[in-house]
Chain A
Amino acid sequence: MRNTMQLLFVTLGFFSAGWAPAWAQGSVLQERNAEAFASENAILDTAIPFAIGAREARQALRGSFGWPSFQEGLVEGVYFRFDPDGYARFAPTPRLDVDVFEVICRTRTHACAARKDGFEVFLTDRGQLQIRLEEALAGDTFFVSEGVSEIQVPERILQPLDVQLELLLGAGGDLITRRGNSEVARTSLKGFSAVTAYLRWIAARQDYAVLPRGWPVPNAAAETSVTQPASWNSPMPQPQLLAPGYSAGFGIAPATSAAPLTVPSQPPAGGAMTGPTVWPGQPVAISPTQPSHGTSTGHALDAEALRDELADLKALIVAAQNGGGPVPSVRDTAVSHQDQISSFGAESHAALQPADVAKLLAVLGELQAQVATLQKAQSDVAAAPWGGGTDAQGLAPLGAPAAERQGQADTAHDAERLAYLMKHLGYDAQTALTILKAAPDAQAGDDLAGGVNPQWNAETPPQSVLYENALVDQILAEMEAEMAAVIGQEQTVASTEAPAANIAEYELLSRYFVSAGLPALLKMGADDE
């Protein structure tokens, strides 16, 4: 544990010192023992209580070196003590002797890790929690056990944890690693939530703002910024706001809305996902519990994350353009979608200027051209059943009767059309009926048939409908990328520093898109058909 790390440091020191004689090595060791207490190694002020009831106390030093003080207390059912260098122990007993989380910090840094048996938890560079299990191998399964009940947790617990997994692990119980049917390791999670809060507290330079909701913060009444979720700078996607009246006015959920999102029924396999994932049936409400790394650092990370996401989206669009559809590469559909939401929300914080709108229109025009190309490529596939040995002119008669049919309720006319198809064009009855129902005036056909034809649903590729939604998403993503290029880096950074989503800007952009972009796209789709 801590000794191991110290031994490692010492060993490295030996090698760096070269082949020193044994006595010299002993001297080096002793000096390092004492130098561990150099004032530069102090990263915490033990006078600042970690939680209500914690107290600073003097260490019972007999020798000439050591930390003069420490802090001890009780929080979330575990006792803790920590030194100015960050070294801490969390355990359910006041003696801190069993079931101990031991926190060790790299010398003169705020990089700390907590260990208990073969279980290690630390913060990534992006401030996310990540755990490491010494005994775990590929193919192992993981369970969280609470008494007699246990649930399986996905392998991605070995990746940076999302909020839900963190909450699950923080609820206590045991984390079990199984290989086949045999239990490889079992680690008590008692104290997990407290020790993770401590890790974040250290990383945030003892800022109470990073502590979870409900944390017993001293003098909470006097603190105005104890917990401010809206201002937290998190590498995780932030909760997004819906443009008021958007969905109500159009009866559909916008692609930029997080509200209607649900999760896939199966959690994604594999561990490459770094974004948030939610459990089936859970809303995609992202609770911002990630720590801030100082204001500037947090925004830098956010900007970096946004750039990564935009790059991913760009790749998706390119893949779609080349391969004919969006292909999730590193993230599953839900995550990609969420990321799009997130990045759009972040980018949309910037106020749109008239020049920007003009450029946006230009971009939109280009996108329309691209969409037309894609539509054409897609329609070639979709129209294959329609061809049936005939060219596009073969559809011409369909157009005229359809036009004439408007305003008419005479089913005899349909019968004539059916007869025309069968007699003059040589279709069999079923095909002729299908063509008739799939005609642009399908509504009339539906009316004629008296409802939705299941066969029509089966044979008509759903891509034409889904494609539109996906296409809209792609266009939005492309718009974001272009916007980022147009507005420039400074405005991008400025926009990420905005503490919360600007509803007015959302509204403005959403309405603009509804009024300008979406009708054009719908019209374009209709024209292609």
Chain B
Amino acid sequence: MKSAVGFAKKAPIVGVLVFCAGVLCIAGVSYAVSKTARHVFLAQEEEIVPIIAGGALDNIPALMRGNLPSVTSSLVGGEPKREKPPRMCEMSEGYFDHFELGSEVPHGYNKHNAYVRKFRSRRGVLNQREMRAARVAWHYFEKFTQDSTGLANSVGNYPSTTLWDTASYIAAMVSAYELCIIEKPEFDRRITQLLTTVKGLDLFRKELPNKVYHTKTGAKVDYTNKPGEIGFSALDIGRFLVWLRICKNRYPYLANTIDSVLLKWDFSNVLDDEGLLFGAYIDKETDETVYAQEGRLGYEEYAAKGFALWGFQPRLAHRAEPFLTASIFGIQVPYDGRDPRIFHSQNYVVTESYLQDGLELGFDMPHDDSSPEWVHTDGWRAEFADRIYQVQENRWRQTGFMTARSEHNVKGPPYFTYDTIFSDGYPWNTVTPRGDYVPDHAAVSAKAALGLWALWDTEYTDVLYEAMIELYDPENGMYEGLYERGQGRVSIFTANNNGIILTALLHKVQGTILTPYTGDTEVWYTAFRDQDIRLRRNYPDPPQKDDWLPALRHSVQEKADF
């Protein structure tokens, strides 16, 4: 029946038609979307950067990694590298007139965990007194270097040395040259003879240099300077690596010689997979080599950075942990947290390792070659160093004892003391290598005093300077120090003391001693790629950004803790 308004009931065919129309629409939309998506995706695929051999996206085989450049902060950030300063005698008259010291930059950590210190370093040319001290300090090496080997005696005319002290000799050579005390012919003669000798040294069990060598013969000896072997010291090697890197970066013409020295050494046991440093000694009964962790807070990180400068990754050794603090004169002095009763190794807190880090490496990370001088990218090291300085100044202000503590030789038994800020649970503990308390041997160390003077431009370090700058014997070099209890000068002359004093003086002229590497590839990274030697001796590849040691920070002490 038909109604007046039309059809009251539709036919099923209409529904079918509507359904079909809907399906067709959906299919059409889907097709269009897929076509569009396909178009888009295909277009991206076509824009992929092709992997270029040796390029960043190339998974380079080990054989070819030596060709990679070492990635540094300047390479990553596109910042200009620091420049090697001119020798002192080549500086223009107004060199320091507009010298930027970042005096307005507030101290503290920045967002990259770099640290700006409360005090700045001293900068400027050397005055007459300082030049005289520099010449006297250099005279030690003129007098006590052996013509036969080019090695310098560690202590006076006793013909033995360690790699640590040999590094001090290199430091002295570099300083003497840069301070225009010697000229290039003599510098080249000395450094070449030394490197040649070091390359020819008989290694400890074909691994690394023995702890001690006879300076006249170059033979490896024991602690009595008799032919024999002791083991190797990771700390000594670390410091030696720092100065080899300084030489190589400053004087590229020495690079091949320096690389050839290191390419004789076997680093397979000195670093473990965690990045911990190991020294070696001989088991008395079995005569076997024993590898033992070496280094405590201060020295350990300094040596670790020496290894890192050559591409190694001493991640654990570079960390401050485990460390504790002791409150001394209101300062939380950090010390190594490893229990001496268990590890049988004391946790001496002395100034020297912090000074060396500051003078030679600028408290910077090994990969940093671009940060301003007042920014220390290895932040916690600079912050800890500030504490080490401050606690010594506080002692002077609160007790009157002029304080610049370090390890040093002494006249007569026990011949060597760790004149510490803190060790074995006691502040201002002066101990022998076996742990006896010998307060009579407490002294103001000349190298520590002038190191503090160079890195901390303060009233207190002016006092230290006045006490030390004329503390020399013109025929033998700078004295080791001044006894704290009034026994006079420490009448010993050593390579380490004179080398560090020269470094401190050079730092005043040139700032951080380590300068950026200016070359491209290095033989150190490319050699033996066609053999398995690199693998067996644990030679590293050029460090990339992922290999950088992490920049860390630790809690900062805001006010004195009394």
CB distance from A24 to the nearest CB of B (A): 9
B473–A96 CB distance below 8 A? no
CA distance A373 to B321 in the complex (A): 97
Contact of A14 with B by CB under 8 A:
no
Interface stretch (choices A28-36, A330-338, A510-518) = A28-36
Tell me the count of chain B residues lying within 8 A, CB to CB, of chain A.
Answer: 47
Question: Do A36 and B413 touch (CB < 8 A)?
Answer: yes
The answer on a CB contact under 8 Å between B437 and A63 is no
Distance between Cα atoms of A27 and B477 in the complex (Å):
11
Q: Give complex CA distance A65, B533 in Å.
A: 34
Q: Determine if A7 and B155 form an interchain contact, defined as CB atoms under 8 angstroms apart.
A: no
Q: Does A33 contact B418, Cβ atoms closer than 8 Å?
A: no
A58 at the interface (CB under 8 A from B): yes
- The 8 Å CB contact of B157, one of A31, A65, A89, is A31
CB nearest to B425 among chain A residues: A95
B407 touches A62 (CB 8 A): yes
Interface string of B212-252 (1 = CB under 8 A from A): 10000000001111100010000000000000000000000
Secondary structure of the B side of the interface? loop
Asked whether A48 is an interface residue with its Cβ less than 8 Å from the other chain, the reply is no
User: How many angstroms from the CA of A27 to the CA of B143 in the assembled complex?
Assistant: 11
B529 at the interface (CB under 8 A from A): no
Do A57 and B224 contact each other (CB < 8 Å), given the known contacts A23-B475, A64-B165?
no
A89–B431 CA distance with the chains assembled, in angstroms: 13
A122 within 8 A of B: no
Interface string of A26-61 (1 = CB under 8 A from B): 110111011111110000000100000000011111
Report B476-526 residues with CB < 8 Å from chain A CB: 476, 491-493
* Proximity bits, A79-91, B CB within 8 Å = 1, else 0: 0010100010100
Let me know if B370 is at the binding interface, CB within 8 A. no
Question: Could you tell me if B346 and A39 are in contact, using CB atoms closer than 8 angstroms?
Answer: no
Contact B162 A64 (CB under 8 A): yes
Most A C-beta atoms less than 10 A away, residue of B155, B226, B346: B155
Q: Does A67 contact B (CB under 8 A)?
A: yes
Closest to A66 in B: B223
List A contacts of B434 (CB < 8 A): 57, 59-60, 67, 70, 72, 81, 83
CB pair A96–B157 under 8 Å, yes or no, is no
> B313 at interface (Cβ–Cβ under 8 A)?
no
Q: Does A223 contact B (CB under 8 A)?
A: no
Q: A6-B413, A65-B223 are in contact. Are A33 and B433 (CB under 8 A)?
A: no
Task: Assess whether A26 is in contact with B416, with CB atoms less than 8 Å apart.
Answer: no
Are B154 and A63 touching (Cβ within 8 A)? yes
Closest to A55 in B: B344
Quick check: B437 and A37 within 8 Å, CB to CB? no
Contact of A60 among B164, B223, B281, B345 (CB under 8 A): B345
- Given A27-B476, A33-B411, A89 contacting B436 (CB threshold 8 A): yes
Q: Does B337 contact A (CB under 8 A)?
A: no
Question: Is the Cβ of B157 less than 8 Å from the Cβ of A30?
Answer: yes
Asked if B80 is an interface residue, CB under 8 A from chain A, the answer is: no
Find the residue from A6, A26, A95 having the highest chain B CB count within 10 A.
Answer: A26
**Measured CA separation A97–B223 after assembly (Å):** 27
Contact A61 B158 (CB under 8 A): no
B435 CB within 8 Å of chain A: yes
Answer whether residue A213 sits at the interface, using C-beta atoms and an 8 A cutoff.
no
* A33 lies within 8 A of B155 (CB): yes
A47 and B164 CA atoms in complex are apart in Å by 29
A60 CA / B347 CA spacing, docked (Å): 11
Closest chain A residue to B418, Cβ basis: A60
The reply on A3 being an interface residue by CB < 8 A is yes
Whether A65 and B436, one on each chain, are in contact in the complex, defined by CB atoms closer than 8 angstroms, is no
Contacts of B156 in A (CB 8 A): 26-27, 29-31, 33-34
CA distance A27 to B155 in the complex (A): 9
Provide the residues of chain A in CB contact with B473, threshold 8 Å.
22-23, 26
Q: Bound complex: CA of A152 vs CA of B320, how far in Å?
A: 60
* CB <8 Å contact, B344 and A6: no
Closest residue of chain B to A38, judged by CB? B224
* B396 touches A (CB below 8 Å): no
B119 at the interface (CB under 8 A from A): no
Give the distance to chain B from A20, nearest Cβ to Cβ, in Å: 12
Contact partner, B412, options A2, A27, A59, A89, Cβ 8 Å: A2
Q: Which of A36, A47, A72, A96 contacts B415 (CB 8 A)?
A: A36
Task: Give B346's nearest chain A residue, CB to CB.
Answer: A60
B476 touches A23 (CB 8 A): yes
- Judge whether B225 and A66 touch: CB under 8 Å: no
Shortest B151–chain A CB gap in Å is: 11
Contact B157 A39 (CB under 8 A): no
Q: Which of A26, A36, A59 contacts B493 (CB 8 A)?
A: A26
Please give the distance in Å from B192's CB to the nearest CB on chain A.
Answer: 23
Interface centre among B284, B437, B440, B493 (most CB of A within 10 A): B437
> Given A3, A58, A61, A63, which contacts B413 in the complex, CB threshold below 8 Å?
A3
Q: Known: A6-B413, A39-B224, A57-B344. Contact between A33 and B158, CB under 8 A?
A: yes
B440, closest chain A residue (CB): A3
Task: Name the residue of chain B whose CB is nearest to the CB of A9.
Answer: B412
Beyond A64-B212, A65-B225, A70-B434, whether A34 also contacts B413 by CB under 8 A is no
A68 interface hit (Cβ, 8 Å):
yes
> Which residues of chain B come closer than 8 Å to A31, judged between CB atoms?
156-158
Contact assessment for A61 and B223 in the assembled complex, using a CB-CB cutoff below 8 Å = yes
Q: Are A66 and B415 in contact (CB under 8 A)?
A: yes
B121 touches A (CB below 8 Å): no
CB distance from A193 to the nearest CB of B (A): 21
Assembled-state Cα–Cα distance A63/B494 (Å):
10
Minimum CB–CB distance for A93 against chain B, Å = 9
Within 8 Å CB of B344, what residues of A?
Answer: 57-58
- Docked Cα-Cα span, A58 to B222, in Å, equals 14
Compute how far the CA of A61 lies from the CA of B424 in the bound complex, rounded to whole angstroms.
16
B145 CB-CB contact with A under 8 Å: no
Chain B 284-321: CB-based contact to A (< 8 A → 1; otherwise 0): 10000000000000000000000000000000000000
**Which residues of the other chain, B, contact A37 by a CB distance below 8 angstroms?**
223-224, 415
Taking the closest CB of chain A, its distance from the CB of B490, in whole angstroms, is 11
The residue on B at minimum CB distance from A61 is B433
Identify the closest chain A residue to B226 (Cβ).
Answer: A39
Q: Is the CB of B436 within 8 A of A66?
A: no
Which A62-114 residues sit within 8 Å CB-CB of chain B? 62-68, 70, 72, 81, 83, 87, 89, 95-97
The answer to whether A34 and B160 touch (CB under 8 A), given A22-B475, A60-B346, A70-B434, is yes
Known contacts A34-B156, A34-B415, A64-B225; 17 further A-B pairs (Cβ under 8 A): A6-B412, A23-B475, A26-B493, A33-B156, A33-B492, A34-B155, A36-B415, A38-B225, A39-B224, A59-B434, A60-B348, A63-B409, A63-B416, A65-B155, A70-B434, A96-B435, A96-B437
Question: Could you tell me which A residues sit within 8 Å of B by CB distance?
Answer: 2-3, 6-7, 10, 22-23, 26-27, 29-31, 33-39, 47, 57-68, 70, 72, 81, 83, 87, 89, 95-97
Top 8 A-B pairs, shortest CB-CB distance: A30-B156, A23-B475, A34-B158, A97-B437, A6-B412, A59-B433, A64-B160, A39-B224
17 contacts between A and B (CB under 8 A): A23-B473, A26-B493, A29-B156, A33-B409, A34-B225, A38-B225, A63-B162, A63-B415, A64-B154, A64-B161, A64-B225, A65-B223, A65-B224, A66-B223, A66-B433, A89-B436, A96-B435
